[in-house]
């Protein structure tokens, strides 16, 4: 059974810092991995999708990497802003392609 762990659970930083959020998963037989953002009481917004054949994916100030063999992914946020404050969720897609499995997330707070 796939288990997803995200470290740290919470992070508080001043505006402008570069951040790394970590995700590890126990079953490396995945199709892809998706990073989401969740604002309090809201839905999930997709940030990045990395295919299992890819090592990296970039969107603006966000960069996600994937090391499938070691069961790890990282989300790098450059020049953080207060608007980045949210919970970030990592979710690998199982090999059957039928279910995303979520970690508990990293709750980020960026102060101005």
Partner 1 sequence: EPEVTQTPSHQVTQMGQEVILHCVPISNHLYFYWYRQILGQKVEFLVSFYNNEISEKSEIFDDQFSVERPDGSNFTLKIRSTKLEDSAMYFCASSQSTTDYGYTFGSGTRLTVV
Q: For binding to partner 1 (CB under 8 A), which residues are involved?
A: 31-32, 34, 36, 41-46, 49, 51, 89, 91, 93, 96-105
Smaller CB distance to partner 1: residue 31 or 76? 31
CB atoms within 10 A of CB 85: 17
Q: How far is the CB of 45 from partner 1 (least distance, A)?
A: 8
Q: How far is the CB of 78 from partner 1 (least distance, A)?
A: 22
Question: What 3-state DSSP class applies to 93?
Answer: strand
Q: How far is the CB of 35 from partner 1 (least distance, A)?
A: 10
Smaller CB distance to partner 1: residue 25 or 80? 25
Q: Residue-wise over 36-57: b if at least 16 C-beta within 10 A, else e?
A: bbbeeeeeeeebbebeeeeeeb
Question: What 3-state DSSP class applies to 105?
Answer: coil
Q: How far is the CB of 46 from partner 1 (least distance, A)?
A: 6
In sequence order, what are the residues at sequence separation of 6 or more whose Cβ sits closer than 8 angstroms to the Cβ of residue 109? Answer: 10, 11, 12, 13, 85
CA 78 to chain CA centroid, nearest Å: 14
Smaller CB distance to partner 1: residue 100 or 110? 100
Smaller CB distance to partner 1: residue 23 or 80? 23
């Amino acid at each position: 059974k796939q288990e997803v762990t995200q470290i740290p659970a919470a992070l508080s930083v001043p505006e402008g810092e570069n951040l790394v959020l970590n995700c590890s998963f126990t079953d490396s037989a995945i199709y892809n991995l998706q990073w989401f953002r969740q604002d309090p009481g809201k839905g999930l917004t997709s940030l990045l999708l990395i295919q299992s054949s890819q090592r990296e994916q970039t969107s603006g100030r966000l960069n996600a990497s994937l090391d499938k063999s070691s069961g790890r992914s990282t989300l790098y946020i450059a020049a953080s802003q207060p608007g980045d404050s949210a919970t970030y969720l990592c979710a690998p897609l199982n090999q059957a392609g039928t279910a995303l499995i979520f970690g508990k997330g990293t709750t980020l707070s960026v102060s101005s």
